[in-house]
Structure 1
Amino acid sequence: MTASTDPDFRARLAALNAKFAATVPGTMDKIAQALAACRDSASTEGTAPSAAALHQLHELLHGVAGSAGTFGFATLGQEARRVEQQVRTVMKEGAGWGSIPAQVERLLAWAARDASAAEYD
């Protein structure tokens, strides 16, 4: 019997998916907090957030991008990766922050509605 047809395997995978799903709201809250920190540091330091604030936002998005697809949240992972890459560009180039807050807010709002949805709207 292969792993994909083994009922115990399927049950363990479903349990892991459910465990990941339970962490999504908390992770999205952490991303919202990191975005707020970026905004705070941007308002005090000029147009680009501090390196520390950007790093925190990047790390959280990177974590979602790397794990979401594994646990049945492919679209969430793809969108987190897209925004993560833009944050990485700001970290490297020091420019381009202006459009990122709205994109993070959109990701957060979408995830709050249904983080497992296949369509990103």
Structure 2
Amino acid sequence: MATLIDQDFFARLNALNDKFASSVPSTMARLHDARMRFDVAAPDNGLVGELHQILHTIAGSAATFGFRVLGQQARQLEQRLRVLMAFDAVAPQDWENWMAGLDEYVAWAEMNPKADQYP
């Protein structure tokens, strides 16, 4: 017996895709705002956690909505951040290096978050 297809499934999926796409600019703005508040000499654990949470959310959901590379790059930043979070002390230069990657990611995502290649 053939499985019936929910007639509204694709309409709901498209609506979710549109909702995700429309949220990308504000998500990038949140990342940028957190980055601007970040002090590499004295990182705030709450701010580190906020950055981690935002990146984790992007990494976990972007591909579902057709933003595969956006999600992959978020996952890489998230994994690098987890490494930094594992240490009791991190040199300011190491935070600067990570922030440079975040800056590049946000700038790229602001231009074309659905691009299929990352520089």
TM-score with structure 1 setting the length: 0.84
8 Å CA contact 1:87–1:97 kept in 2: the answer is no
- Correspondence for 2:35: 35
Give the alignment partner of residue 77 of structure 2, picking from 83, 86, 94: 83
Larger helix fraction of residues: 1
Q: Deviations over 1:28-64 (max 9, x none)?
A: 00011111122xx324x2xxx2212211111111111
- Correspondence for 1:50: 44
For structure 2, the 5+ residue unaligned runs are none
Shift of 1:6: 5.7
Residue type at the aligned position of 1:65: A
1:99 aligns with 2:93: no
**Distance (Å, rounded) in 2 between the aligned partners of 1:21 and 1:2:** 30
**Distance (Å, rounded) in 2 between the aligned partners of 1:98 and 1:105:** 10
Q: Secondary structure at the match of 1:42?
A: coil
Q: Deviations over 1:15-36 (max 9, x none)?
A: 1101100000000000111111
8 Å CA contact 2:40–2:96 kept in 1: the answer is no
- Correspondence for 1:69: 63
**Distance (Å, rounded) in 2 between the aligned partners of 1:65 and 1:72:** 12
Name the structure, 1 or 2, with higher relative contact order (CA <8 Å, separation 6+).
2
Greater displacement, 18-27 / 55-64:
55-64
% identical equivalent positions: 41
- Correspondence for 2:113: 115
TM-score with structure 2 setting the length: 0.85
Give the alignment partner of residue 54 of structure 2, picking from 48, 60, 66: 60
Residue type at the aligned position of 2:113: A
8 Å CA contact 2:69–2:118 kept in 1: the answer is yes
8 Å CA contact 2:40–2:95 kept in 1: the answer is no
